Amino acid sequence: MTVRPGTPVPAEPPRPDPALRAALEAELDDAVALRHALHRDPRLSGDEADSRDLVLAALGDLAVPELVADTGAMLRLGTPPDAGLPAVAVRAELDALPVVERTGLPFSATGPAAHVCGHDVHVAALVAVVRALGRVGADRVPAPLLAVFQPREEKAPSGAADVAADPRFAAHEVGAVLGVHVQPELPRGTVSVRGGPVNASADEIEIEVHGRGGHGGYPHRTRDPVLALAQIVTAVHHIVSRRVDPMAAGVITLGQMEAGSAPNVVPETATARGTVRALDASRDELLAALREVVESTARAYDCSATLTVVPNEPAVVNDDALARTVSRALGSRRSDDPGTTEPAAEGLVLDTTFRSCGADDFSHYGEVLPSLMLFVGAAAAGTTPGDGPGLHHPEFSPDDAMVGEVARALLAAVTAAGAALAAPVPAAAPPA
């Protein structure tokens, strides 16, 4: 599929309409209450219909929703698609994780699922933006807004891939897609915007080693797959350090191993499962090197091995022009001066350096459209970023004030992206 050209950069950074800013502030109490309701009663990937309906009830009759990706929804504010003005889409994720929460919050989830990745904050913030536009009129932003409440970010099949491929999404003539994520690796009060790769690709892998089982007291009669797998685990962790450019980012993690049924029996097979992530590193080259190391190491121990790869997300690659436009709207610090920060327009500090080997299915939007993922700092006050509970940890939960911080960043980004889409594209210079 052809990727649309990057968005133009307006001469002056656009700012949200003051009336719209005031309307947003007036929506935050209700948005926090919605966040509590979503957090208290979370839904796992593929089972988000109840959460979706809660969101749609909070939005009332602002727009006619369209159901998408089975348990998601999207709704448009502003001129209709046939008006010829590209829309700005904003994605927020509905699903929770299969984690037992340990936050101790009064609105804590009590079952086997929890919002420990901040999706409840993202959804509540987007609802606040949509409701603010409903208060003062969608004409307060330069382009129509398409709010996408997406299911299945945490688990395949990807909800983003389904939305991006849906003809109903394409019918909205989307010109840019925005996403936002709370990030405990960033200081509180910071918003990070930068072009290029910001999240890694992520593929699941399974390594199965086949040997010859037998009695633990007669190892010479066996071909031990556990020993072979142990050497494979050691060897694959050398791939990034010795087969990948040290200036490029990639990571291989083997987080699960299984073998055997008794302490005195050499089993027939041993299995390891994990993930392969590539930010700057070549995804294909990393997987090819992994396969070579797995198979050759097993042969060295007179065993055989198979590598199964389940492709998940490509890397999240932010559109450069869109990143410049939004960063200029959030603050005036030059993107070529990463060593300093200065106050941003929305009460946050602008950062243009953060990226990580986390993964997000938001990347599927970037495969077909200019897209931009923003990160809003969530490190708890008085702590060093990264020292406290992180994303997916049972104790991770941003405080309620982050709903407003995320909403303000989103509103500024929507305004800037909409202005870029509405700006006339300069005519090409005539040939010399």
Whether 355 is covered by a domain: the verdict is yes
Ramachandran category for residue 411: left, alpha or beta (phi over 0 → left; psi -120 to 50 → alpha): alpha
- Residue 219, pLDDT score: 96
**Residue numbers of the domain that contains 213:** 201-313
Do 174 and 87 fall within a single domain?
yes
Two structure tokens written together for 230: 């142990």
Domain count, the chain: 2
- Residue 95, pLDDT score: 98
| Close Cβ partners of 167 (under 8 Å, ≥ 6 residues apart) | none
* pTM recorded for the entire structure: 0.90
User: Which residue, of 313, 338, 361, is where some domain finishes?
Assistant: 313
Whether 13 is covered by a domain: the verdict is no
Do 290 and 384 fall within a single domain?
no
Do 35 and 152 fall within a single domain?
yes
User: Which residue, of 284, 313, 342, is where some domain finishes?
Assistant: 313
CATH number at residue 285: 3.30.70.360
Angle, alpha carbons 234-279-406 (nearest 5°): 125
Terminal-residue alpha carbon distance, the chain? 33
Q: Which residues, listed in sequence order, are joined to residue 123 by a DSSP beta bridge?
A: none
pLDDT tens digits along 56-95:
999 999 999 999 999 999 999 999 998 889 999 999 999 9
Whether 254 is covered by a domain: the verdict is yes
Regions of the chain with pLDDT less than 50: 1-5, 7, 333-343
Do 285 and 322 fall within a single domain?
no
- Count CB atoms within 10 A of the CB of residue 114: 25
- Residue 187, pLDDT score: 93
Residue of 48, 18, 28, 4 whose CA lies nearest to 127: 28
Do 237 and 368 fall within a single domain?
no
Whether 243 is covered by a domain: the verdict is yes
Q: Is the peptide bond before 311 cis (omega within 30 degrees of 0)?
A: no
Do 212 and 69 fall within a single domain?
no
Whether 5 is covered by a domain: the verdict is no
Do 26 and 123 fall within a single domain?
yes
Contact 87, 177 (CB under 8 A): no
Two structure tokens written together for 387: 């020292």
| Close Cβ partners of 425 (under 8 Å, ≥ 6 residues apart) | 8
Cα 16 to Cα 138, 321, 330, 425: the distances in Å are 12, 19, 10, 22
Do 257 and 277 fall within a single domain?
yes
User: Which residue, of 277, 294, 313, is where some domain finishes?
Assistant: 313
CA–CA distance, 408 with 20 (Å, rounded to integer): 10
Do 344 and 210 fall within a single domain?
no
CA–CA distance, 302 with 225 (Å, rounded to integer): 9
Whether 9 is covered by a domain: the verdict is no
- Residue 278, pLDDT score: 97
Whether 4 is covered by a domain: the verdict is no
Widest distance between CA atoms in the chain: 84
Do 24 and 169 fall within a single domain?
yes
- Residue 235, pLDDT score: 97
Contact 294, 207 (CB under 8 A): yes
Do 246 and 99 fall within a single domain?
no
Do 73 and 177 fall within a single domain?
yes
CATH number at residue 344: 3.40.630.10
Phi, psi angles (nearest 5°) of residue 2: -75, 130
Whether 182 is covered by a domain: the verdict is yes
